[in-house]
Every structure is written in C-alpha cells, then in structure tokens.
C-alpha cells in the first residue's frame, strides 16, 4: 500500500451543496472526482473523517474559493486539525481557451492547482475581527441610506421650486422648516411626510450604529492600533476603525510596499522589450480601505499643524507614535503642495498621499504590541 503524506482536496462551494475532488501527492497522480455533498456542517465533518480513514498517515489540505458563503468552512476544517486555504477567485490561473466551466471541473482544478502551488491563499480574519468589520460596514451602509433619503427629499423640493433660505441644511432649524411645508397637492404632501419620517428613522439608526461601533471597538483586540493611528492627520475614529477592520493584522506585511500593492494603490505597468509604460493604479484588493485612505488624504492640502482635536487624539500615546505622525504630516503636506505646483491632477495627488499614508499606518502598527492569537486559527500557508 502506498503511503501518502498530503492529500489535496478541492471544494467548489455553493449555498446548498459542495462539489469535492481530490488528488494524491505522488508524481503523475490523476485527480479524482469524489462527488457532491451537502453544505451542512455534519456533512463536511463526515467528509473529513472519510478521507482520514482512507489516508490515515496523510495530512489533508482543503482549498475553496472566497465568496458569499464566508469563512465558516475554513474555521470548521481547521478546528478539526486539518489545513485549509481560502483563495481569491481573481488570482486563480485560467487558460484563455478553456470555455467550459462546471462545478466538477472547478473542484478538480482547485485540487490540481493547490498541489502545484499555483494558488495564493488570502488572509482569513478572526471571528471577532469579522464581526467588527460587519458592524463598520453596516454603519457605512446606514450613512449611504441616509444620504439617499435626503437626496430624494431635496429632489422633490427642487421639482416644486421650493428653496431653503437658511445656511445649514439638515440642522434642527432646517428640519423644523421642512415640517411646516405645505405642497400644492395632497399626494405630494404624503410623499413629503414619508420622506421626513424615513430621514428621521435613518438618523436614529445611524446614531445607534455609531454608539454600538464605539462600544465594541473599545473592547476589540485591535483597539490599541485603532487608537494609535488616530495620531495621524485625517485619520479619526471611523476611518481608523474601517481601515483596521478591513485589513486586520498589518504585521503580516513585512514591507509597506506590499501593503500598498495589496490595496491597489500602486501604478499598473505594461512593459515589454525596451518600452516601459506605467498606467493608473491597479485598484486591486480591498476597495473600502482604499476609499477611506483617500478620504483622509484630503486633509493634507493644508500646512502642517497640530490642531486641538489632533492633540487630544495624541494624548496618552507613546512618543514614538507621535513622532511618526508628525514626520508623516511634514512629509505629506510638503509632498501635496509639491505635486500640485507641478500641475498634477488633484485626484492623482490625493491618491499619492493615500499611498504614503498607509505606509505610516504600517509603521505605527509596528510600535503597538497586541495580544497573541491562537496559532490554530492563524492563516495557514501553502506547503513548500
């Protein structure tokens, strides 16, 4: 009987079922289609036991694509003592001439690529980190919904040639003015009242999520990093929480350039022969974290200065963190003005500032000591 050290198992996951294929580690082995199983936890546990009984001396390496099903399969398989990898669909090699796609072929393809080490596993957040990320995203969704409701109400008023004479929109005075409006037709009055009620409900929803986010972030293991990076200009509570919730542990990047590339903030390149062409940024990776950094980069258009609000955020932080934040402000404010004077487009300048901001955030995170995590839950690496 041939003894195997590793069995590579590809999972093509779906809501109701999972297609399974595997390949042995010996040279010239042919991938085998195992079949289709239910996506219930008990079925996955049974699948792992079947492979363990068939290959008692081998280590099981599972792989599946990241998608809407989440990371619970990864956590379940790793809790059983197996290796599991989650890969990004955009990084899976694909032949240009391969025009046939089925669940069976996808599972076989994942198993073969895992064996040949052609897959790049992604970072899997801890359950607590994913929960804070969901809360941060829910707060952002609530803000978008509130803005959409306000736009709809302002469009209604514009169609009826009704203009507010005050200066501050959506203040208490403005809201009182809206409640006193009388539109020409009773049907339009109903639309106005429904819009006002929707805005009131969404304001209350946003306040609830703000309070919950502030409460849970202070009990989060990454809160020291969230608090420390607020020493930077343009990085307040919401931006800091959003960036760290999306990126997780920044110490997994051994150089800030890798973090820049992960966020898609580096320029694309298409060079061949003696010609070198550098284009726009790649926009790969996490788009939400990239957008939050660009929002914070706008504040560097002003001269370097420690405002009262920034000084309050820096109180109680280590001197090394405050020094990094000041060096960042001196460099980025100067670089912003230099690029503007060169005639660079405003969006290009802000993107360049955001790219360097993440490098300073990485440097600050290196100064913060975090509690250790259970090694069993860390991201597994592809075997060499």
CATH number of the domain to which 68 belongs: 3.30.420.40
**Of 218, 241, 267, at which residue does a domain stop?**
218
What's the CATH number where 181 sits? 1.20.58
In a domain, 285, yes or no: yes
Give alpha helix (H) positions in the chain. Answer: 41-54, 72-79, 103-115, 127-159, 172-179, 186-218, 223-229, 237-247, 256-262, 287-297, 308-314, 319-341, 346-366
Residues in the chain: 384
| CB atoms near residue 382 (< 10 Å) | 15
Is residue 67 within 8 A of residue 364, CB to CB? The reply is no
- 360: containing domain: 223-373
Q: What tokens does 189 get?
A: 């009055």
d(CA 219, CA 131): 12
Looking at the fold, whether 35 and 102 belong to one and the same domain comes out as yes
Q: What is the pLDDT along the chain (384 residues), one digit of tens a residue?
A: 466 789 999 999 999 999 999 999 888 899 999 999 999 999 999 999 999 999 998 999 999 999 998 999 999 999 999 999 999 998 999 988 888 999 999 999 999 999 999 998 999 999 999 999 999 999 999 999 999 999 999 999 999 999 998 888 888 899 899 999 999 899 999 999 999 999 999 999 999 999 999 999 999 999 999 999 999 999 999 999 999 999 999 999 999 999 999 999 999 988 888 888 888 999 988 999 999 999 999 999 999 999 999 999 999 999 999 999 999 999 999 999 999 999 999 999 999 999 999 999 999 999 987 766 554 444 443 333
Looking at the fold, whether 243 and 367 belong to one and the same domain comes out as yes
What was the pLDDT predicted at 2? Answer: 63
Q: Count the domains in the chain.
A: 3
Is residue 153 within 8 A of residue 197, CB to CB? The reply is no
Give alpha helix (H) positions in 10-102. Answer: 41-54, 72-79
With 0-12 / 13-18 / 19 or more C-beta atoms within 10 angstroms meaning exposed / middle / buried, residue 244 is buried
Looking at the fold, whether 252 and 140 belong to one and the same domain comes out as no
In a domain, 95, yes or no: yes
d(CA 256, CA 166): 47
d(CA 245, CA 286): 11
In a domain, 42, yes or no: yes
Tell me how far apart the terminal alpha carbons of the chain are, to the nearest angstrom. 25
Q: What are phi and psi of 86, to 5 degrees?
A: -110, 125
All residues at 6 or more sequence positions from 258 whose CB lies less than 8 Å from its CB, including other chains: none
Looking at the fold, whether 312 and 266 belong to one and the same domain comes out as yes
Looking at the fold, whether 295 and 361 belong to one and the same domain comes out as yes
In a domain, 80, yes or no: yes
d(CA 275, CA 307): 47
- Report strand pairing: 6-13 vs 59-65: parallel
In a domain, 240, yes or no: yes
Looking at the fold, whether 287 and 236 belong to one and the same domain comes out as yes
Threshold 0.85, pTM exceeds: yes
Q: What tokens does 144 get?
A: 């978008």
Looking at the fold, whether 67 and 171 belong to one and the same domain comes out as no
Looking at the fold, whether 260 and 202 belong to one and the same domain comes out as no
Looking at the fold, whether 228 and 307 belong to one and the same domain comes out as yes
Looking at the fold, whether 13 and 94 belong to one and the same domain comes out as yes
DSSP assignment of 106-128 equals HHHHHHHHHHTT---BPP---HH
Residue holding tokens 């001197």? 319
**Of 58, 84, 115, at which residue does a domain stop?**
115
In a domain, 121, yes or no: no
Looking at the fold, whether 258 and 143 belong to one and the same domain comes out as no
Residue 57 has what DSSP assignment?
T
pLDDT, tens only, 289-320: 999 999 999 999 999 999 999 999 999 999 99
Looking at the fold, whether 259 and 360 belong to one and the same domain comes out as yes
In a domain, 282, yes or no: yes
In a domain, 72, yes or no: yes
**Of 90, 115, 140, at which residue does a domain stop?**
115
Residue holding tokens 């592809």? 382
Is residue 135 within 8 A of residue 46, CB to CB? The reply is no
All residues at 6 or more sequence positions from 137 whose CB lies less than 8 Å from its CB, including other chains: 288
In percent, the amount of the chain with pLDDT more than 70 equals 96
Beta bridge partners of 33: 21
């Amino acid at each position: 009987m041939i003894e195997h050290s590793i069995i590579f198992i590809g999972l093509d996951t779906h809501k109701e079922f999972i297609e399974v294929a595997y390949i042995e580690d010996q040279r010239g082995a042919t991938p085998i289609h195992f079949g289709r199983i239910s996506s219930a936890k008990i079925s996955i546990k049974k699948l792992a036991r079947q492979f363990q009984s068939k290959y008692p001396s081998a280590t099981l390496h599972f792989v599946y694509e990241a998608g809407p099903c989440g990371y619970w399969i990864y956590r379940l398989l790793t809790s059983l003592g197996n290796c599991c990898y989650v890969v990004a669909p955009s990084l899976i090699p694909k032949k240009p001439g391969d025009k046939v796609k089925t669940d069976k072929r996808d599972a076989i393809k994942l198993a073969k690529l895992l064996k040949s080490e052609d897959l790049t596993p992604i970072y899997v957040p801890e359950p607590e980190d994913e929960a804070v990320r969901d809360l941060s995203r829910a707060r952002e969704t609530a803000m978008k919904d509130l803005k959409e409701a306000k736009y709809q109400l302002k469009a209604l008023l514009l169609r009826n040639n009704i203009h507010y004479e005050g200066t501050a929109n959506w203040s208490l005075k403005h809201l009182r003015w809206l409640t006193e409006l009388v539109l020409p037709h009773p049907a339009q009055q109903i639309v106005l009242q429904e819009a006002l009620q929707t805005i009131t409900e969404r304001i209350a929803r946003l306040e609830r999520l703000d309070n919950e986010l502030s409460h849970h972030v202070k009990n989060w293991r990454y809160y020291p990093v969230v608090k420390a990076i607020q020493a930077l200009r343009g990085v307040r509570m919401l931006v800091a929480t959003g960036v760290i919730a999306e990126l997780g542990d920044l110490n997994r990047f051994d150089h800030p350039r890798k973090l820049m590339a992960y966020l898609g903030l580096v320029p694309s390149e298409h060079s061949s022969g003696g010609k070198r062409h550098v284009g726009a940024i790649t926009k790969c990776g996490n788009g939400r974290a990239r957008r939050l950094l660009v929002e914070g980069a706008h504040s560097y258009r002003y001269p370097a200065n420690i405002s009262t609000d920034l000084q309050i955020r820096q109180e109680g932080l280590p001197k090394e963190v405050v020094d990094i934040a000041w060096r960042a402000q001196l460099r980025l404010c100067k670089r912003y003005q230099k690029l503007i004077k060169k005639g660079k487009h405003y969006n290009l300048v802000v993107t360049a500032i955001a790219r360097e901001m993440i490098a300073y955030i990485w440097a600050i995170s290196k100064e913060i000591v975090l509690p250790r995590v259970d090694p069993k839950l860390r991201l597994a690496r592809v075997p060499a």
